[in-house]
């Protein structure tokens, strides 16, 4: 028994913040941002709009695409680092809204790798026969923890949501997933403050902190190893890949991974220009865009990958 993606969905909040808008807020420029990140605009949640508010329409679109009624969902795995509440978790809050009562629902907190971690867990439950219809979500409101005076991070992060529906299949869908973490490098990318450690009283009170150059080097190295690992585990040569669906963090990281796979950029789903780094939401967002615009077709072989603070990283080899 395998699990297979049978529906995808995504949602971006209405408010758009362009590079030209950021020029008015800090010492930066459209040219500087585009050259270093590839980002042109990002979507920002409205006041009072929460992570689950973004996740709900993405989830409903995925369920509609799968031809599944919400009541059929018996498992929810929700990747996020910006939850609505300490508890109940975002999975439970989304479950209540959808009316998908009774099955397990939980959140996974692994930063930008959150969707891949959640996908891996859901895949195992479906393969084991313990879930017959799994909803996997990645959603973030990173604007809530962004220091809008810090150009090294403010130009990167944004809000959004993506989702997929998994169902059992006799044919291979998710061939394998590969997850990793290394807390040795925790001080290179983290968020200041937390429930048990307390929240800083000085500004910025709670915000993302990053040592950009070091993060870039490690991301390129470890993502390269993660994609090699996925191919080796399945005895597949990189020439057999149809598409790369990467974490949308930085165009230079995406290009480096594509070069390692000998893939031209026209075989990479690249949406970072349109919505920036939406952390756990970025892989399912890109996946949904590729499915809905017709580039990603049934039967094609996809490689998904992500790298996030912690550090956490991983890959998944998927047959649509």
Q: Which residues are catalytic?
A: 112, 247, 277
CA angle centred on 254, ends 252 and 255, rounded to 5°:
65
Looking up tokens 């890959």 gives 315
DSSP-derived letter for residue 48 is: T
Cα distance between residue 144 and residue 82, in whole Å: 8
How many other CB atoms are there within 10 angstroms of residue 206's CB atom? 15
Cα distance between residue 75 and residue 295, in whole Å: 29
The string of DSSP letters for 11-27 reads E--SEEEEHHHHHTTSS
Report how far apart, in Å, the C-alpha atoms of 289 and of each of 62, 162, 244 are: 12, 10, 13
CA 217 to chain CA centroid, nearest Å? 20
Residue 78 in contact with residue 118, Cβ under 8 Å? yes
**182: nearest Cα among 2, 299, 307:** 307
Q: What are residue 59's phi and psi, to 5 degrees? A: -65, -45
Cα distance between residue 183 and residue 74, in whole Å: 33
The string of DSSP letters for 63-98 reads HHHHT--GGG--EEEEE-SS-SSSSS-HHHHHHHHH
Residue 213 in contact with residue 243, Cβ under 8 Å? no
């Amino acid at each position: 028994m395998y699990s297979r993606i049978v529906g995808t969905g995504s949602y971006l909040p209405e408010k758009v913040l362009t590079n030209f808008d950021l020029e008015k807020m800090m010492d930066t420029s459209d040219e500087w941002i585009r050259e270093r990140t590839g980002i042109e605009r990002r979507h920002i949640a409205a006041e009072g709009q929460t992570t689950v508010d973004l996740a709900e329409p993405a989830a409903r679109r995925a369920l509609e695409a799968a031809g599944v009624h919400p009541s059929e969902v018996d498992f929810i795995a929700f990747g996020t680092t910006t939850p609505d509440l300490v508890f109940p978790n975002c999975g439970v809050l989304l479950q209540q809204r959808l009316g998908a009562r009774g099955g397990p629902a939980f959140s996974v907190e692994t930063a930008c790798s959150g969707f891949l971690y959640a996908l891996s867990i859901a895949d195992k439950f479906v393969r084991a026969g313990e879930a017959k219809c799994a909803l996997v979500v990645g959603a973030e409101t990173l604007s809530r923890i962004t220091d809008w005076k810090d150009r090294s991070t403010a130009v990167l992060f944004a809000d959004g949501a993506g989702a997929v529906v998994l169902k059992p299949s006799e044919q291979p869908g998710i061939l394998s997933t590969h997850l990793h973490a290394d807390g040795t490098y925790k001080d290179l990318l983290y968020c200041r403050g937390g429930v048990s450690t307390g929240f800083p009283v000085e500004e910025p009170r709670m915000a993302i902190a990053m040592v950009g150059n070091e993060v870039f080097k490690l991301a390129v190295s470890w993502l390269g190893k993660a994609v090699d690992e996925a191919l080796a585990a399945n005895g597949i040569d990189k020439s057999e890949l149809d598409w790369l669906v990467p974490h949308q963090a930085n165009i230079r990281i995406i290009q480096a991974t594509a070069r390692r796979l000998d893939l031209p950029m026209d075989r990479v789903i690249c949406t970072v220009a349109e919505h920036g780094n939406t952390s756990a939401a970025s892989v399912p967002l890109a996946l949904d865009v590729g499915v809905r615009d017709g580039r990603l077709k049934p039967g094609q072989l996809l490689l998904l990958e992500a790298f996030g603070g912690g550090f956490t990283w991983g890959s998944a080899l998927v047959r649509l």
